Structure 1
């Protein structure tokens, strides 16, 4: 009997352990981020958006306690990752960046009062006195050692000497030393892949060894300066024994996210109630207000004119209330939608001017908007073999497509690699928040019949490789179209992966014609489908342009468009309705009365995200005063 009891007890123990491990695996947790902590009398202009009043910090701590949040430590997280214990419900982690003196004098006493653990990220070179913060006092080494002995604080590395910007382009813009390629104005060249990788690995090793020498413990956590990181940086951290790292994207985490944890940065000195709103909603319900900008409008052969054009654009975008800019990264001077040249360094097409990086960083820092790089999926005027291009069935044989978009075939392996390298080069040399895939991603019911495309059609999709047979059946045509829709979606996933190696945090959007949304059977003519798009992209930018579509009743047409989007799960949360600001057929601006009516209608119908194309800074179109009326919303995450 005792043996049976022991077996039963062992079984119960193992079962409970398994349940705890399962709960641990499924547990979620929030990471909150703070920087400097101020006294009330220190809040004087110019205001630091990332500083928090000490009284408000205590209100935050009190709110967490009142609402039964459990503040966890790095060790709690590691134990949960090992399956040794589960994370508690409403788990939250507190982090403080930069090692300001205010952490020691103001935050630490509150941590002790509430018995809350925290993580403090310090910059090695600042501690060693090699560099000091320009304005704010930093904790001394003795104070950090005292903090460690409190038992409440985990010391993380904030790198040794990468908490600053480096010159990243010919315009001498500065950006993250972690993710930017150093540009030499003397030699007019960028840091090579090899030199960049060497610099990052050496820096991470130095950050770990430096803290070990100063504090006697090796950091278990890397907190990336400005939240900027990439695959090379993550590899360097892992090789140095640092498996936990932190960025600055909004959102909650699971144990699968500990390689790069998302953190909610507390900004604008919110009080306890406002803090609670941030913690519970995590800034997820913010709407996009999008200005779609042609770089060709900003470009000029004279640098001084570019400077003037850009200054006007920044002033306009900032005043408009827009929070997102879709920014052209390719040159299309003849307006046919194909990329003739690019606005960034790359290994394949001519560079009209190395301009995208400069404009993007200026918009982000001075107009406070998110910038999406707008690039074609396939439409590149490239000096490549003809077999790389999309073919259409014409006059009884595959021939070069007559479509205005001169598209490389995503079915051709060499073409895929070629386009992938363009996207990769964009990500290496430029910093941005997202990718907008151009509306050139279409294949008609007569395309693509290139040899590589028909091989996939027959061998992978098990459809006839004889065009006449394939096209004779309505059922086969629709099957073919659906496969092509998904295939292009998977191709853009591949392009996204090439970008995310260097910019892991970017979001994606894709332009879509309205007809496949209004009449789903027209997928056969375009290889576009809203359900497919919603699966592959963070946002779908639908061309909500009744004038371009020659709709008899624009109001009825837009109403039906929003209705169709809303019928899809999560449709209105992900669709950007992009209005037209120009009547291209008449070569004149859309009247502001019509533009205003359409924006008002979209908002009444429940459209969450609204944009327009194009923005014309020189003609003040759409009118700035109208944009200010409709676009005043908070910045997106």
Structure 2
């Protein structure tokens, strides 16, 4: 939201409205009443070792043998029932129900500790488990080693095929594919970032194979990507079948990263059960991916209990919205300095999410004339979004949402597309969503973003509204609720295009404050808090009184919070986003102390999710030390990295 864009919004809104193993005994007793558990809990383990506390051990996903035993004891004492993959498949098909408190144990990476430490425990307890093997690691040539979670590993780190045969013959262990050789990163952008091979298009600056790579962008094309994934999965499945006598029925995605294309290729090879690391409850419907709970940091039974019973909890979110235009610079060296400034600030601030602009808007009118990723229809100002998003995710440990317009696109090769408003009446330029060519082209852009983006979610911007003065075409006689649903359905269509490549995407959408405070104004916006909260993971409510020409008073913020609280699950789904500048006064910064007081006031009203826009990381506004207590998701005291 820049100067010109903010002024347009003011005009729009001014218009008249129509623990540890030693706690086992205490935790083994009855648990207090809690929310119902999902039909299946899938636990994900990796290495099991006895030297986990030794200095220099850097494997955060390893667990000690005594803690694993404590987990097994706690699960049994609290009535959890271990189930096999057979049981899960039968339940998905509707053949037989799973028992209450069903748990599927999974162990990744084909590590030797599964055979030496876990397998004896499975036999002692009679517990079934799923064991995922990565073929290329088991087949390492003599003398070849690689870094596995900070340690040098050769073939001795992994099970042999003879041991795999013994595991399968026991009747307790199902062998799954962990791919043949996709448990690695591939070059995925011009800046040299390595990203998960199973979901990333390979970047080849030399274009050694024009049939495989796009000549304009240098990226692997979609057909070549699909063929690469199919070839790898087929090799894995064929070797497992040859070595064990049974084809794998499950694919366990490296790093938990998958997309619908890879999932379809796995299913075509007989691996109908797909397992990842999504942080959401299991749904047993056929074709649905099975999310797993990652066991990390050698948690004891207290940590395991918290992990299981917090699955349906909605953690408070702290969000910073960032303009990628402020990072971009034609000088690559300056651009890297800008990126470093952002990363340092976010790393110290520790929000939970960054909403990152993916389109270029240097004139500040809110219209996408270009974007920051390769695509079919718009100029690429710089291939930058994937680089910044990946650095934020890996160095700052935040989720990154791609912030994109819904209707405000200006396609240079399709200037005759119908528009709701041409921008000449003082309103926001927006294309007409009822036109099939508009829908197709915008959908292409969203799919291209997902092909290259590496984001965790999508933020649909504030340009998605309909006014009576717009050229509404077939929507002219629709009711306000029908218009609201029409735009929601369009954003769902865009998200579905993106999820072909990023299956785990979450969604958020901007909402003006007036439809919340004055529900009848849905007729002017085609926006509704109740409808948004039902459609998206989060509603990004623009708690910006200056857009409504209202004074930024405590009373206004309290009234807004009360209106949200009156909605079912309103506080669980709604994020209050505050402005750090006052566009009515020429963009004068709001002092960090004032912004902090408003955030504190909203928290006192029961608001759970908070954010702000914009973050001027170059000028250091709002002041880091003043705003950090309110926007950080970290616990006090704050630790400097």
In structure 1, distance between residues paired with 2:279 and 2:488: 26
Aligned partners of 1:50 and 1:266 also within 8 Å:
yes
Spell out the pairing of 1:171-186 with structure 2 (5 A cutoff).
Answer: 171-186=191-206
In structure 2, distance between residues paired with 1:138 and 1:316: 41
1:414 and 2:437 matched: yes
**Counterpart in the other structure of 1:155:** 175
| Residue aligned with 2:241, SS | helix
Spell out the pairing of 1:378-527 with structure 2 (5 A cutoff).
Answer: 378-383=407-412, 388-391=417-420, 402-449=425-472, 453=473, 455-457=474-476, 463=477, 480-527=479-526
Which of 382, 385, 390 in structure 2 is aligned with 1:356?
385
More moved, 226-235 vs 494-503 = 226-235
1:513-566 Cα offsets, whole Å, 9 max, x none, are 111111111112212111221122111001112344343352111111111111
1:470-502 Cα offsets, whole Å, 9 max, x none, are xxxxxxxxx633222111111101101100111
Which of 310, 316, 337 in structure 1 is aligned with 2:339?
310
More moved, 366-375 vs 530-539 = 530-539
**Counterpart in the other structure of 1:621:** 621
In structure 1, distance between residues paired with 2:308 and 2:632: 23
Cα 1:371–1:553 change in 2 (3 A) is closer
| 1:384 CA drift (Å) | 5.2
1:196 and 2:225 matched: yes
| 1:372 CA drift (Å) | 0.3
Spell out the pairing of 1:225-304 with structure 2 (5 A cutoff).
Answer: 225-256=254-285, 259-282=288-311, 284-304=313-333
| 1:306 CA drift (Å) | 1.4
| 1:348 CA drift (Å) | 0.7
In structure 2, distance between residues paired with 1:31 and 1:123: 20
| Residue aligned with 1:351, SS | coil
In structure 1, distance between residues paired with 2:312 and 2:388: 27
| 1:634 CA drift (Å) | 6.1
Which of 45, 49, 56 in structure 1 is aligned with 2:60?
49
Residue segments in structure 1 that go unaligned for 5+ positions in a row? 1-25, 393-398, 458-462, 464-478
1:74-131 Cα offsets, whole Å, 9 max, x none, are 1122233444432100001010110112222222232223221111100011112257
In structure 1, distance between residues paired with 2:52 and 2:414: 69
Larger relative CO (CA 8 A, sep 6+): 1 or 2?
Answer: 2
Aligned partners of 2:542 and 2:576 also within 8 Å:
yes
More moved, 339-348 vs 551-560 = 551-560
**Counterpart in the other structure of 1:141:** 161
Cα 1:438–1:81 change in 2 (3 A) is closer
**Counterpart in the other structure of 1:332:** 361
| Residue aligned with 2:606, SS | coil
Residue segments in structure 2 that go unaligned for 5+ positions in a row? 1-36, 208-216, 636-641
| 1:617 CA drift (Å) | 1.0
Aligned partners of 2:275 and 2:289 also within 8 Å:
yes
Runs of 4+, deviation exceeding 6 Å: none
Aligned partners of 1:27 and 1:86 also within 8 Å:
no
| Residue aligned with 2:464, SS | coil
**Counterpart in the other structure of 1:556:** 555
Aligned partners of 1:534 and 1:540 also within 8 Å:
yes
TM-score when normalising by structure 2: 0.87
| Residue aligned with 1:540, SS | strand
In structure 2, distance between residues paired with 1:91 and 1:78: 13
In structure 2, distance between residues paired with 1:78 and 1:301: 54
| Residue aligned with 1:585, SS | helix
| 1:404 CA drift (Å) | 4.2
Aligned partners of 2:281 and 2:312 also within 8 Å:
no
| Residue aligned with 2:132, SS | strand
| 1:618 CA drift (Å) | 1.5
More moved, 430-439 vs 303-312 = 303-312
In structure 2, distance between residues paired with 1:43 and 1:615: 42
In structure 1, distance between residues paired with 2:346 and 2:516: 30
Aligned partners of 1:37 and 1:107 also within 8 Å:
yes
Which of 87, 99, 102 in structure 2 is aligned with 1:76?
87
1:231-252 Cα offsets, whole Å, 9 max, x none, are 2212211111111111110233
| 1:443 CA drift (Å) | 1.5
Cα 1:120–1:189 change in 2 (3 A) is same
**Counterpart in the other structure of 2:607:** 607
Aligned partners of 2:257 and 2:276 also within 8 Å:
yes
1:66 and 2:95 matched: no
TM-score when normalising by structure 1: 0.87
More moved, 359-368 vs 300-309 = 300-309
Spell out the pairing of 1:104-143 with structure 2 (5 A cutoff).
Answer: 104-129=115-140, 133-134=146-147, 135=151, 136=153, 137-143=157-163
Question: Which structure has the bigger radius of gyration?
Answer: 1
1:273-325 Cα offsets, whole Å, 9 max, x none, are 12101101216321111010100111111111111111121121111020100
Cα 1:257–1:568 change in 2 (3 A) is farther
Which of 390, 393, 406 in structure 2 is aligned with 1:377?
406
1:408-453 Cα offsets, whole Å, 9 max, x none, are 110111111110000011011121100000100112121233xxx2
More moved, 548-557 vs 328-337 = 548-557
| Residue aligned with 2:410, SS | coil
CA-atom RMSD in angstroms: 2.0
| Residue aligned with 2:320, SS | strand
In structure 2, distance between residues paired with 1:559 and 1:40: 54
In structure 2, distance between residues paired with 1:623 and 1:433: 27
**What is the count of residue pairs matched by the alignment?**
580
Cα 1:385–1:47 change in 2 (3 A) is closer
Cα 1:582–1:67 change in 2 (3 A) is same
Cα 1:339–1:428 change in 2 (3 A) is same
In structure 2, distance between residues paired with 1:93 and 1:62: 15
In structure 1, distance between residues paired with 2:304 and 2:86: 26
| Residue aligned with 2:182, SS | coil
Task: Considering fraction of residues, name the structure with more helix.
Answer: 1
In structure 1, distance between residues paired with 2:592 and 2:52: 47
Aligned partners of 2:38 and 2:281 also within 8 Å:
no
Aligned partners of 1:517 and 1:529 also within 8 Å:
yes
| 1:192 CA drift (Å) | 1.3
More moved, 324-333 vs 188-197 = 188-197
**Counterpart in the other structure of 2:33:** none
Aligned partners of 1:162 and 1:178 also within 8 Å:
yes
In structure 2, distance between residues paired with 1:621 and 1:47: 36
| Residue aligned with 1:119, SS | strand
In structure 1, distance between residues paired with 2:492 and 2:185: 30
| 1:30 CA drift (Å) | 1.0
